[in-house]
Structure 1
Amino acid sequence: MAEFTFEIEVYSDTICPWCYIGKKTLEKAIATYTAQHPAVDFKLTWKPFMLWPTAKTSAYQKGAILHAIYGPRAPVMFERLARLGALHGIDFRWEGKSGNSRDSHKLILLAMEQDDDDTRSSSSPSPPGLEPTSTTATATTTATTTTTNNSTATTNPLLTYKQTKQERTIAHLFASAFEQGQDLSSRAFLARAAVTLGLVGSEEEALAYLEQQADEEDPEAGRRQPGSGTGPARRGLAKRVDESSARARQIGMTAVPSYVVQGRWQVGGMQGEDVWLRIFEKVRATKSGKKNEEGSSLDGLTTREEQPTVTNGGMQKESTEIR
């Protein structure tokens, strides 16, 4: 058992390039810190934060979106993204369409639910003579690549903590959008990605899941989605994405990426490795950064004074409304 587990909630939007860089810098910080402190562990949970919930599907060129957001500052931002991306092995490409990110967040929710199912299964007693199995993968010194339907999902060899299905889904979507010219608002692409990632058995199953807009009160909702179970967590997908975005704004988040550490420390913007290492030290040293036993992981959110200065950028909804 780990001496200390860092629990980090990541609020991001799949169409935000800063969130992709932010993921890479956080992973690098985790790798550095766990190398120095092998007894600690990290648990990351990705939360939807839609920048433009009213955006149309496949309606915009990726580069045009940044020009609309940053105006005359766009060339500087393109250069900055290219420079920071190169530091983390990201080759940003701005061709291709983009649009509403709601469906991509549904796919991430599906991966999270399957992770939860795997955790429950692995914690259940096994029949005599059978050992429990786990579907999470621990990164090694070489990347593992799976290719299906002309699409590739690659695990991150840098990580020293367990990579969940949600982590692999996030990584695949970011790489597809920003390095391979894919459109994350396209259900056809997302269906292929779901099969590639092993979240569903067929593209037809994935499309049925993405089209699901069931009301929370519908008792049949869960049965129409991939995976087992019919509880509330498997219903009202679009509503859950929107509620997560609304919750983020309620607690004062105005940009992505944003983070909540141990349900208490709010970190705004894409931070560098050095900032994360200082945060890890501070949280671990206090030991009081653990989540409250009552309520959700955000109930103890305080310490505005602990929020580091945003130095490396992010994307704000307020800058431009994309419709």
Structure 2
Amino acid sequence: MRVEVWSDINCPWCYIGKARFEQALAVFPHRAEVEVVHRSFELDPNAPRAARPVLPLLAAKYGMSLEQAEAADARIAENARAEGLPYLDGGRDAANSFDMHRLLHFAKERGRQAELLDALYRANFAEERSAFDEERLVELAVGAGLDGEAAAAVLADPQAYAEAVREDEATASAMGATGVPFFVLDRRLGVSGAQPAETFTRALEQAWESRPPAPLVQVGGGDADACGPDGCELLRP
């Protein structure tokens, strides 16, 4: 069974939702038969590349005062910490995440996507240093087990993995996703938002139980000895 997860590094609920999903997956009896694929989604494709303080951005986007934005972020912090996740109150920044998504596709090819995703989330939500400049991204890639020169080459080429990111976003749009996190199980069952772990548990169970039967694959020819509705043919010497 395949679980595809659309998310954005700028999204704190993606950070939290990932942890809650993984709690459910850890105790799922068929965990070994579940493939998790992380896919790209930009909350603001037009965001500038230069990092800016996140709280004034939230206040402007939602028409809140700075104090209200701080209170909203504090509530998110409580949810994160309840899942055992470190979360930095205020002082964070935000910027265009397209390069991060390109780097995640590069990491996927090399079998290190999950490690890089965790590193990006941790850097963005739990560390004071910005996660958005190229030097920092290369450091995070190396920390996730990737080659630094190769990661730097990806970041230096704006077309590298750009089409893969756009394909993910087009697929999400075709499925009707308007926000993240967005979980899709076997392209048959969708779960929107950072749901409680219990909800993910039920979704995994439902998707597993409703899997279509596997098609019969016949190996070898059809002329071997067999028994049919009329019994078995007697072979004479």
Normalising by structure 2, we get a TM-score of 0.81
Would the alpha carbon gap of residues 75 and 59 (structure 1) be closer, same or farther in structure 2, given more than 3 Å must change? closer
**Which of 51, 56, 68 is the aligned partner of 1:59?**
51
Which residue of structure 1 aligns with residue 87 of structure 2? 92
Would the alpha carbon gap of residues 101 and 29 (structure 1) be closer, same or farther in structure 2, given more than 3 Å must change? same
**Which of 27, 48, 55 is the aligned partner of 2:40?**
48
**Which of 102, 118, 138 is the aligned partner of 1:191?**
138
Letter in 1 for 2:99: D
Letter in 1 for 2:129: Q
C-alpha distance in 2 between matches for 1:39 and 1:257? 21
Which residue of structure 1 aligns with residue 110 of structure 2? 114
1:67 CA drift (Å):
2.3
Which residue of structure 2 aligns with residue 261 of structure 1? 185
Map Cα deviations across residues 239-258 of structure 1 (whole Å, 9 max, x no partner).
Answer: 32123223211220000100
Normalising by structure 1, we get a TM-score of 0.60
C-alpha distance in 2 between matches for 1:28 and 1:71? 35
Gaps of 5+ in 1: 1-5, 116-164, 215-235, 291-323
Higher relative contact order (CA 8 A, sep 6+): 2
Would the alpha carbon gap of residues 250 and 184 (structure 1) be closer, same or farther in structure 2, given more than 3 Å must change? farther
| 1:21/1:84 contact within 8 Å kept | yes
Would the alpha carbon gap of residues 9 and 186 (structure 1) be closer, same or farther in structure 2, given more than 3 Å must change? same
What's the secondary structure of 2:110's corresponding residue? Answer: helix
1:98 CA drift (Å):
2.2
Matches within 5 A, 1:1-323: 6-33=1-28, 37=29, 40-72=32-64, 74-93=69-88, 94-115=90-111, 165-200=112-147, 202=148, 204-214=149-159, 236-288=160-212
Equivalent pairs: percent with the same residue?
Answer: 30
Would the alpha carbon gap of residues 105 and 267 (structure 1) be closer, same or farther in structure 2, given more than 3 Å must change? same
| 1:57/1:99 contact within 8 Å kept | yes
Q: What RMSD over aligned residues (CA atoms) do the two structures have, in Å?
A: 2.1
| 1:9/1:259 contact within 8 Å kept | yes
C-alpha distance in 2 between matches for 1:279 and 1:167? 21
| 1:191/1:207 contact within 8 Å kept | yes
1:45 CA drift (Å):
0.4
C-alpha distance in 2 between matches for 1:96 and 1:175? 12
Greater alpha carbon shift after TM alignment, 268-277 vs 73-82: 73-82
C-alpha distance in 2 between matches for 1:70 and 1:90? 25
Aligned length: 210
After the TM superposition, list the runs of 4 or more consecutive aligned residues in structure 1 that deviate by more than 6 angstroms.
none
What's the secondary structure of 1:8's corresponding residue? Answer: strand
1:276 CA drift (Å):
0.8
Letter in 2 for 1:67: A
Would the alpha carbon gap of residues 38 and 251 (structure 1) be closer, same or farther in structure 2, given more than 3 Å must change? closer
1:66 CA drift (Å):
2.6
1:32 CA drift (Å):
2.6
1:42 CA drift (Å):
2.1
Greater alpha carbon shift after TM alignment, 278-287 vs 67-76: 67-76
Letter in 2 for 1:103: D
Q: Which has the higher helix share?
A: 2
C-alpha distance in 2 between matches for 1:26 and 1:166? 17
